[in-house]
């Protein structure tokens, strides 16, 4: 389960991916000028608009995650002991990816710890 990440980290990853995709689209569009000459300028302009839209969507995602991050409760991870933020009733630690929950009814569905118990965090 090392590949799973916390909700905030996952949203930040999508934001970063959109920045790279937007920049790639813009660079790919500018190659149209080299390949097609005068018609390539129109192609470059279209790809530039799509790339800028992708970057603006990324900026919106980063803004939304920042707003969520300010209101997220900061808790101590029982597994690694580091302070992490938790969104919703269940989330993962940003560092060790342990499943955390604040709802006792969901604790039995969490990831088992080495001693066979489940990780449960009280807010």
Task: Kindly list the domain boundaries of the chain, sorted by start residue.
Answer: 7-71, 74-109
Q: What is the CA radius of gyration of the chain?
A: 21
Element (H, E) at 91: strand 90-92
- Report helix, strand or coil for 1: coil
- pLDDT tens for the chain, residues 1 to 123: 566 888 888 999 999 999 999 999 999 999 988 888 888 899 999 999 999 999 999 999 999 999 998 988 888 888 888 999 888 888 888 888 888 888 777 765 444 554 444 555 555
Taking the whole predicted model, whether its pTM rises above 0.75 is answered as no
User: CA-CA distance, 14 to 34, in Å (whole number)?
Assistant: 31
């Amino acid at each position: 389960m090392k590949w799973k990440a916390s909700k905030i980290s996952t949203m930040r990853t999508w934001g970063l991916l959109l920045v790279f995709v937007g920049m790639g689209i813009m660079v790919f569009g500018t190659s149209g000028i080299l390949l097609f000459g005068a018609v390539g300028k129109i192609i470059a302009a279209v790809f530039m608009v799509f790339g800028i839209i992708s970057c603006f969507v990324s900026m919106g995602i980063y803004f939304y995650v920042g707003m969520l991050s300010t209101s997220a409760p900061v808790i101590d991870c029982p597994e690694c002991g580091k302070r992490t933020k938790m969104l919703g009733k269940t989330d993962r630690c940003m560092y060790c990816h342990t499943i955390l929950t604040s709802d006792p009814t969901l604790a039995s569905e969490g990831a088992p710890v080495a001693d066979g118990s489940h990780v449960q965090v009280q807010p």
